[in-house]
Amino acid sequence: MPPVGVMILYGILGLVSVGSAVGLLVSRSAIYSALFLVLNFLTVALLYLVLGAPFIALAQVTVYAGAIMVLFLFVIMMLGAEKLGPGSLRVRGLRVLAIVLGVVFAAEAAIFMVVRGGVQTIPVEPTLTFGAPSAVGLTLFNQYSLPFEITSVLLLAAMVGAIVLTRGDLKERQARRAMQTPRQD
């Protein structure tokens, strides 16, 4: 059994992670939502550290809290989502759908707890390779090479699409400016 201090730290990090996820969902500003998401990513990385996986924690910070959040903030700024009003993106029935899904998930959890008789944990023997870069690399490129390649092609397609959309918008703005500028004859 882990020491009490580690369990307390694990509980605090879990609460901060859940709290930042709730803040992400209830925030009306896209920028604040992105900042709550950064906090969530950082607390998850700290949880990985507590669990003894420093490589995965650093990858979490580098990939998610770093690169993905820069991408999110870039998209928010590019699309002007921070200027949208609180009621500008209303979808009918979304609140009812959220309540129904919440009840369904709670019922599934209750049924799972009753049928299985609670949560059962299986102790896992700690290994020296858990979370090590060599173990992650071997697993990623041996067992999951096809999904890895598909993901890379998907990311490449997303980058090309973003460039095409941005260039199209740039050409549109240049055409509008050319039409607004009076001719010098």
155 shares a domain with 81: no
pLDDT digits (tens, 9 = 90+) for 84-120: 555 555 667 778 888 899 899 999 988 888 887 766 6
Residue 120 belongs to a domain: no
- The domain in which residue 161 lies consists of 144-185
Q: Which of 10-14, 63-67, 139-143, 160-164 has the lowest mean pLDDT?
A: 160-164
Residue 136 belongs to a domain: no
CA torsion 25-162-147-58 (nearest 10°) is: -60
Residue 91 belongs to a domain: no
Look at the chain and report how many structural domains it folds into: 2
Phi-psi domain of 126 (left: phi exceeds 0; alpha: psi -120 through 50; beta: other): beta
Query: 148 near 140, Cβ under 8 Å?
Result: yes
Q: Name, in order, each residue with C-beta under 8 angstroms of 179's C-beta and a sequence gap of 6 or more.
A: none
Residue 124 belongs to a domain: no
In terms of Cβ atoms closer than 10 Å to its own Cβ (0-12, 13-18, 19+), residue 2 is exposed
Query: 164 near 157, Cβ under 8 Å?
Result: no
71 shares a domain with 3: yes
pLDDT digits (tens, 9 = 90+) for 135-174: 888 888 888 889 889 988 988 888 888 777 766 666 677 7
Domain boundary among 86, 112, 130: 86
Query: 65 near 140, Cβ under 8 Å?
Result: no
Taking the model in full, what pTM does it have?
A: 0.60
Mean pLDDT, the chain, as a whole number? 80
Tokens 């993901």 belong to 151
